[in-house]
Amino acid sequence: MSPTMYIAGAGGQLGTALRAVSAANADVRALTSADIDITDASSVTSALAGLRADDVVLNCAAFTNVDGAESDPDGAYAVNRDGPAYLARSTAAAGAWLIHVSTDYVFAGAAATDAGPRRTRPYEPDDVTGIPETVYGASKLAGERAVLDADPTATVVRTAWVYTGGPDSPDFVGTMRRLEAQRDELTVVDDQTGSPTYAVDLAAALWGLASVGRRDRTAGAVLHATNEGSVTWHTVAQAVFAEIGADPGRVRPCTTHQFPRPAPRPAFSVLSGRSWADAGLTPLRDWRSALHAAIADPGPSLDTLTP
């Protein structure tokens, strides 16, 4: 009997992409919020009742509202720490494999508004995370630790700046596409550096990881997976304009000080892809090629998006 691939958070951005790029003959069980409440241990146990030792659980359910987490820490920790822990207990009991998706925000780094020297070296998985400056980051870091404590054979995959990029997408790329038609000029922060990651590319990478199975470099490991390269949000916005035939010069740079948010944003949160390649996995393509593909092909529909 072939393994079953369970997707927790199947109605969200990454979950939708995972369903869209899965192999036609794969046995995939898409679990949306209507099928599983990962913050409820009994709901998790019920939804994963048929879990077998060869099965894989891909967890992309998360509380991703970075600013909203500052005013709702209980909600953030329930989804980002407690939920993954319940999933890990189920996979550990069944001998199944949990692949848990995390974030660049687990690193403390320096806020974009901080004075002083900025980091320029991409983060490796074994770099010290420190104490994240946001509730979102702290809750995701707690989730990583809870997962590996409950199931030492699980794999944590950190990623960053995920987008789908469709004209109706609520992510950064989709927002820039809409604002281009609404405003003569935009200002976008130019002092936050990261790696934009196309959800479809990330989904394909996660399926690639699932297909190689648990082995020395994946079981119990923390890996980083983003599209290659690093840029600022301002550069991404200019690239979006260029892709849709608009003048990139209409996007003006500004500082984070000029665009304050409830949660501090990291000045530099680039993740190194070395661990991914060292595990024998195919690196994701460069961010610019991925952006071109995202805009040329809107990718998986987000019509099924659920909270």
| pLDDT at residue 306, as a whole number | 34
The answer to whether residue 303 scores a pLDDT higher than 50 is no
Domain 4-164+195-228+269-285, CATH: 3.40.50.720
DSSP string covering 36-79, please? --TT-HHHHHHHTTT--TT-EEEE------HHHHHH-HHHHHII
Q: What is the pLDDT of residues 144-193, one digit of tens each?
A: 999 999 999 999 999 999 999 999 999 999 999 999 999 999 999 999 99
For 136, residues 6+ apart whose C-beta sits below 8 A from its C-beta are 63, 64, 65, 66, 69, 70, 76, 80, 103, 105, 263
User: CA 133 to CA 269: how far, in whole Å?
Assistant: 13
Q: What is the pLDDT of residues 17-53, one digit of tens each?
A: 999 998 767 899 999 999 999 999 999 999 999 999 9
**125 residue type, one letter:** P
The answer to whether residue 302 scores a pLDDT higher than 60 is no
| Catalytic-role residue among 86, 105, 136, 198 | 136
Cβ burial, residue 296 (10 Å; 0-12/13-18/19+) = exposed
| pLDDT at residue 304, as a whole number | 39
Extents of the domains making up the chain: 4-164+195-228+269-285
Query: pLDDT grade, residue 299 (50/70/90)?
Result: low
Q: What is the pLDDT of residues 214-246, one digit of tens each?
A: 888 999 999 999 999 999 999 999 999 999 999
Active site (annotated) includes residue 136: yes
